[in-house]
């Protein structure tokens, strides 16, 4: 990079998860399939994405994968018991189950092959984990396998502003999208509040995001706001380059 910062040191930030992903070059197509194998693949893809850390999305994916794996037991009675009871009934500790889950998560790259190939990888991982209670019949090949439609890893590291609060990176790229129509000029408009000196949550998010940078803050501003942001930076005597 021009300022002597490696791309690996650049973190893309936004208030919204999807904006942060988009800025990092990770544009994902929503998957609405209810097929069990697809839902396992979606959860595994999320858990393989180390940039999420301990986010709520990561936690939801872990819970979803646990439920989908439990549904592979031939006994429907075990689908509705607490996790601890389930582990006891299948003669596993919670730690052993988590170890097996890791085998499932890293069995194969989700969506890079066919549904049949991914299914075999999941069943193979279950076998290596010693899960002899898994019923292959309960993991059919879905008709709506989204092969090749879902990027699994982003080009750059990313996080939400909230998820990176209290942390720092050498360089930050902060997305500043146009506010929704209802928020223009109001407290939900961070740039307007910044310009007018009004305190608001939207303005605080901008400050928290930009202040994560140790050496370089890159503001990726919606075209409709670019002039306003430049005026503010000039007014506040903040050195910057417009690209």
- Please indicate whether residue 79 or residue 130 has the higher confidence score (pLDDT): 130
CA distances in angstroms from 198 to 89, 97, 102, 165, listed in the order given: 58, 51, 48, 22
- Tell me what pLDDT residue 211 has: 94
Compute the distance between CA of residue 25 and CA of residue 152 in angstroms, rounded to an integer: 11
Instruction: Please state, in angstroms and rounded to a whole number, the distance separating the CA atoms of residues 117 and 120.
Output: 5
Average pLDDT of the residues in 146-154: 55
Give me the pLDDT at residue 213, please: 94
Is this structure's pTM higher than 0.85? no
Task: Take residue 150 and report the two structure tokens written for it.
Answer: 């879902």
């Amino acid at each position: 990079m021009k300022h002597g910062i490696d791309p690996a040191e650049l973190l893309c930030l936004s208030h919204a998860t999807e904006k942060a992903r988009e800025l990092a070059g990770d544009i994902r197509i929503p998957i609405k399939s209810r097929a069990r194998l697809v839902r396992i693949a979606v959860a595994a893809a999320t858990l393989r994405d180390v940039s999420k850390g301990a986010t709520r999305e990561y936690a939801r994916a872990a819970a979803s994968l646990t439920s989908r794996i439990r549904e592979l037991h031939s006994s429907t009675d075990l689908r509705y018991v607490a996790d601890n009871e389930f582990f006891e009934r299948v003669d596993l500790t919670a730690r052993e189950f988590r170890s097996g889950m890791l085998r499932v998560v890293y069995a194969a790259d989700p969506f890079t092959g066919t549904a049949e190939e991914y299914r075999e990888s999941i069943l193979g991982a279950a076998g290596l984990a010693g899960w002899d209670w898994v019923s292959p019949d309960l993991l059919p090949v879905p008709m709506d396998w989204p092969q090749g439609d879902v990027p699994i890893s982003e080009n750059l590291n990313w996080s939400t502003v909230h998820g990176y609060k209290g942390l720092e990176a050498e360089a930050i790229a902060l997305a500043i999208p146009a506010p929704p129509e209802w928020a223009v000029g109001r407290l939900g408009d961070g740039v307007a509040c910044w310009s007018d000196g009004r305190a608001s949550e939207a303005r605080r998010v901008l400050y928290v995001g930009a202040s994560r940078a140790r050496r370089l803050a890159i503001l990726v501003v919606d075209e409709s706001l670019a002039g306003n942001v430049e005026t503010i930076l000039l007014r506040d005597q903040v050195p910057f380059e417009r690209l």
